[in-house]
Amino acid sequence: MKIESSAFQFEKEMIWEEAGQGVKRQIMGYNNDLMMVKVAFEKGSIGSVHTHPHTQATYVASGVFEFTNDGETSIVKAGDGVYIKPNASHGCVCLEAGTLIDTFNPMREDFINK
CATH number at residue 69: 2.60.120.10
The tens digit of pLDDT for each residue in 55-106 reads 999 999 999 999 999 999 999 999 999 999 999 999 999 999 999 999 999 9
Residue 3 within any structural domain of the chain:
no
On whether the CB atoms of residues 51 and 103 are closer than 8 A, the answer is no
The tens digit of pLDDT for each residue in 40-54 reads 999 999 999 999 999
Burial bucket for residue 88 (CB in 10 Å: 0-12, 13-18, 19+): middle
Residue 48 within any structural domain of the chain:
yes
Query: Structurally, how many domains does the chain consist of?
Result: 1
Q: Is 112 helix (H, G, I), strand (E, B) or coil?
A: helix
**pTM recorded for the entire structure:** 0.94
Residue 45 within any structural domain of the chain:
yes
Residue 85 within any structural domain of the chain:
yes
- Domain containing residue 66: 16-112
Residue 29 within any structural domain of the chain:
yes
